[in-house]
Every structure is written in C-alpha cells, then in structure tokens.
C-alpha cells in the first residue's frame, strides 16, 4: 500500500492492523514518478493533487484499488480504472461539516470586512468604523449545488438568521425554510451571498464567469469552496475592482501548487476584502481522521472480502462480513447469462453456494458468491477461462 499527500495516520494504522505493508509519503507524485513507483503496489491512496491517468494505470500491473482520501475523484481517470478492473473509492461525506464551518466563517468575515480590518491593524493603522460592515441576519444566501455540503450549509445558515435559496440541476429535497429557485439567474438576482457547491464533472468547467457576476446583486458576496475550474477568476477580479462584488472568498483555484511552499499565483492576490485559503475546506483534524478511517476501511474490505460498497466506478456490491465460509469475487462483462454460467460451473464441480450478491454498472457486472467448504482449482480454472471474465479472486475466512 502506497499512501501519498500526508494522509492521516489512522489510515496507516487501519491498514497495518489488517496485515498490509504501508508506505506513507508527504507529497504528491507526477505522472512519471507514479509510473516508476507503482509496480508492486497493490493499493494506492491519494488526495487531490495526484492525477491518475490511463498511462499511469498501464504501468501499474499489480494495482487493484485506488483510495481518494477526499471528496472528489476527478483526478482519476475512472473509466480507464474500470476497464482495468481497478476499484476507486472516496469519502463523499467525511469533511462536509468542516467545509460548511469555513463557509460560515467567510460569510461573516466578508460581511464585516474583517480581512481589511486585520490587515490595517497589522500595518499599525487604527480604523474603527462601521462603514461597509453588516450583520448577516436577514440577508439572503444563495447556494448553487444543494448536495451534502449545500444542504448542511443551508441548515446552519438558516439557524443564524439567513434566508436561504438554492439552485441545483437535480431534484433535491429542500431543508427547513429554504426556497428552490428554478434558474441560476433567478438565484443571482435575489442573493446577497452566492456560495458554490457543485461537483467537478467536466460540464461544470467555467460555469461561473463574467455573465454570472454581472447578474449578481450590486455589493453582493461571492464564495467558492467547490472546484477551482468552475470560476473565471479574471472576471471575478474585474467585478471586485469595479465594486460590483463587495467581497469574495476562494478555497479552490484553477491551478494550485503541487508542493508545500511553492508560490501561489492568482489574479485575486492583493485585493481588498478577499479571503484566499489553500484548499483547506476539509482540512481539519476531525475531517482528515474521519476520511482516513473511512477510505482505508473501504480499501481493506475490498482487498480482504471483495466488497465494492460505495465504489465510484465498479458495480456496488456489499456482501456480509466473511466469517466462516469461502468467497469468490467475479468481475465480468455485463452480458445476459453470466450468472447462470457461474452457477453451472460451481454446480458441476460440487460447490455448495450459500449466498450470492450481484450488481451491474454499465458494461460491467460483479458477483460475489459465498460457498461452504473449499473451492476446487478446477472450478477456479473454468471461471477464469470464461470469455466474460475481467478478474476472479477468492478468499477464505
């Protein structure tokens, strides 16, 4: 197991306790570095700065699973991983609270113009004034993207006295007194604060630019804690300089430094009432520990018991814990008759099936079969010889 990017020690402890040899590194790796490092590696753990391309996977003959110790998985070529039978897991919920608390802090800080207040104090300037400083109570927060983070932000913001409106391309259950807006333009026209919480799918690249900033209310506040590539930062700079946007907070950027200490470049540097943070929305000790525990558990269960529960690219099968029996995991091409073929082979070899769990996803199917006693080499060989087989693995309790 190779873990990159300072993944929390609880992941190391979980995997080592399960019998894995774990190497932990503090930095990300380039494509060439991964190509050199991955032969012999069974499982890989990354965060957002390590990119897994098809070329990398072509040079990772022993790799069975990738754990993204973060929310997003757009840094991994998921289709290429699925084609090679490599499972990919992430932590879609573990840092939700941490991101929401940062956004709440930013809303208050920008409304009170705290960034420029503290800068002046550090410069030795006493500027005790209420000019441009407002309470957030009674203001309207517009949430773009009403998933796990958006809904929790909605709940906390409403408890603080903010009116909440939201827009999402998917049907979402509204929380509390939040109001659904049927278009993004309608949300922009009404919101005093706009906060983005969309995912990293390719269709979201550049969705927020000059046209959207023009449609925001004069002197409104803009926050992006979602993905750097969704926002045109040059356009945002112009609207801040013109005074149309009163303040902004960004935690994610189109281009981010790969290594600690590298220079950060952005057209937003040096602007008044702008908060720039280095992609730390989910970087609390609580969130990182939970992510480390969650993703390492998924990797462990996949490797030792064949569970693909919450995999983002393979069929989702969550069999019970393997306690007394033997188990076969069969990833195959999703065509009619494969399950019957599996069971006919097992029956012909006298194998008694005690439990079976199947799921399909696109062009792939995955069946986990629990059996009593030992599975013969003849049965294994016949299953491996099937023209539909991607991989076959077996486990004993």
- Nearest of 328, 316, 302 to residue 362 by alpha carbon: 316
Domain 315-397 annotated CATH 3.30.70.260: yes
Over residues 169-180, the pLDDT tens digits come to 999 999 999 999
User: Is residue 163 predicted with pLDDT exceeding 80?
Assistant: yes
Q: pLDDT confidence of 157, banded at 50, 70, 90?
A: very high
pLDDT at 228: 93
pLDDT at 7: 94
Per-residue three-class SS string for the chain: CEECCCCCHHHHHHHHHCCCCCEECCCCCCHHHHHHHCCCCCEEEECCCCCECHHHHHCCCCCCEEEECCCCCCCECHHHHHHCCCEEECCCCCCHHHHHHHHHHHHHHHHCCHHHHHHHHHCCCCCCCCCCCCCCCCCEEEEECCCHHHHHHHHHHHHCCCEEEEECCCCCCCCCCCEECCCHHHHHHHCCEEEECCCCCHHHCCCECHHHHHHCCCCEEEEECCCHHHECHHHHHHHHHCCCEEEEEECCCCCCCCCCCCCCCCCCCCCCCEEECCCCCCCCHHHHHHHHHHHHHHHHHHHHHCCCCCCCCCCCCCCCCCCCCEEEEEEEECCCCHHHHHHHHHHHCCCEEEEEEEEEECCEEEEEEEEECCCCHHHHHHHHCCCCEEEEEEEEC
Report yes or no: 252 and 227 within 8 Å, Cβ to Cβ.
Answer: yes
Q: pLDDT confidence of 373, banded at 50, 70, 90?
A: confident
Domain 1-94+284-314 annotated CATH 3.40.50.720: yes
Report yes or no: 210 and 242 within 8 Å, Cβ to Cβ.
Answer: no
Instruction: Supply the residues annotated as catalytic.
Output: 227, 256, 279
The two domains 1-94+284-314 and 315-397 share their CATH topology (first three levels equal)? no
Over residues 216-238, the pLDDT tens digits come to 999 999 999 999 999 999 999 99
Over residues 254-297, the pLDDT tens digits come to 988 877 788 999 999 999 999 999 999 988 999 999 999 999 99
pLDDT at 258: 77
Average pLDDT, the chain: 95
Mean pLDDT of 239-260: 93
Q: Which residue has the tokens 């049907």?
A: 171
User: In whole angstroms, what is the distance from residue 316 CA to residue 293 CA?
Assistant: 20
pLDDT at 257: 86
In which region does residue 353 sit, left (phi positive, over 0), alpha (psi from -120 to 50) or beta (all else)?
beta
Percentage of the chain beyond pLDDT 90 is 89
Residues 6+ apart with CB under 8 A from 33: none
CATH number for the domain formed by residue range(s) 96-276: 3.40.50.720
Q: Write down the domain spans for the chain.
A: 1-94+284-314, 96-276, 315-397
Q: At residue 230, what are phi and psi to the nearest 5 degrees?
A: -85, -10
């Amino acid at each position: 197991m190779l873990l990159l990017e300072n993944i929390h020690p609880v992941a190391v402890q979980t995997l080592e306790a399960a019998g894995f040899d774990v190497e932990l590194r503090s930095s990300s790796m380039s494509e060439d570095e991964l190509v050199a490092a991955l032969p012999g590696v069974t499982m890989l753990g990354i965060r957002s700065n390590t990119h897994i391309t098809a070329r990398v996977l072509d040079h990772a003959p022993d790799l069975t699973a990738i754990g993204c110790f973060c929310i997003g998985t757009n840094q991994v070529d998921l289709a290429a991983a699925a084609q090679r039978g490599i499972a990919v897991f992430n932590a879609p919920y573990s840092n939700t609270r941490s991101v929401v608390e940062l956004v709440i802090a930013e809303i208050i800080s920008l409304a009170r113009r705290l960034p420029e207040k503290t800068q002046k104090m550090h410069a030795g300037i006493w500027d005790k004034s209420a000019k441009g400083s407002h309470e957030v109570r009674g203001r309207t927060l517009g949430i773009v993207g009403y998933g796990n983070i958006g809904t929790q932000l909605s709940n906390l913001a409403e408890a603080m006295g903010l009116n909440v409106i939201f827009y999402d391309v998917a049907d979402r259950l509204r929380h509390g007194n939040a109001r659904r807006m049927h278009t993004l333009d309608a949300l922009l026209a009404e919101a005093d604060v706009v906060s983005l919480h969309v995912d990293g799918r390719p269709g979201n690249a550049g969705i927020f630019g000059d046209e959207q900033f023009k449609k925001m209310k004069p002197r409104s506040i803009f926050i992006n804690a979602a993905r750097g590539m969704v926002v045109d930062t040059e356009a945002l700079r112009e609207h801040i300089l013109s005074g149309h946007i009163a303040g902004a907070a960004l935690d994610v950027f189109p281009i981010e430094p790969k290594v600690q200490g590298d220079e950060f470049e952005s057209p937003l540097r040096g602007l008044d009432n702008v908060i720039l943070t280095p992609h730390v929305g989910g970087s609390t000790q609580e969130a990182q520990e939970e992510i480390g525990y969650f993703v390492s558990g998924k990797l462990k269960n996949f490797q030792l018991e064949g569970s693909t529960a919450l995999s983002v690219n393979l069929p989702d099968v969550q069999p019970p814990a393997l306690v007394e029996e033997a188990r076969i995991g069969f990833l195959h091409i999703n065509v009619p008759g494969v399950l019957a073929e599996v069971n006919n082979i097992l029956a012909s070899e006298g194998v008694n099936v005690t439990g079976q769990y199947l799921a399909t996803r696109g062009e792939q199917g995955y069946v986990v079969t629990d059996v009593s006693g030992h599975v013969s080499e003849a049965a294994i060989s016949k299953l491996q010889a099937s023209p539909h087989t991607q991989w076959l693995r077996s486990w004993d309790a």
